[in-house]
Amino acid sequence: MAYKLMLTSQERRAVDFIGYRYSNGDDLYDALWGCCRAEPEGEEWGSGADIEFTVPEHIAWRIAENAQLEDGDSEYTFPCFSGDLTAKMQEFCWNII
């Protein structure tokens, strides 16, 4: 099973901004860019286009577990993300079966 996650260029810049400080920075980047198929094919992370990631189930669980461990809570936290991006990422995590 795979999951879809669309990120705008502004949302990807937020991931870059977080960097090494939280798991929703470099760890999220590594999970998405290193392990998932991106559409449109050949698009670069830093481009201005929206990119849709096809996220394998084991990577989706890794993203969710990182977000859960971030605060030591059962909630999925995404520090320093906007409310909209946090809601998008929480929805992604809640929909993992």
**What is the full DSSP assignment across 40-76?**
STT--TTSSS-EEEEEEHHHHHHHHHHHHHHTTSSS-
Asked if pLDDT for residue 96 goes beyond 90, the answer is: yes
Contact 44, 52 (CB under 8 A): no
In the block, which residue shows the tokens 């990631």? Answer: 53
- The per-residue pLDDT for range 26-36, each reduced to its tens digit, is 999 999 999 89
Contact 90, 78 (CB under 8 A): yes
User: pLDDT above 70 covers what percent of the chain?
Assistant: 96
Tell me which of 60 and 74 has the higher pLDDT: 60
Asked if pLDDT for residue 71 goes beyond 80, the answer is: no
- The per-residue pLDDT for range 6-17, each reduced to its tens digit, is 999 999 999 999
DSSP 31: H
Asked if pLDDT for residue 97 goes beyond 90, the answer is: no
| Residue 7 confidence (pLDDT) | 98
- pTM of the full structure: 0.91
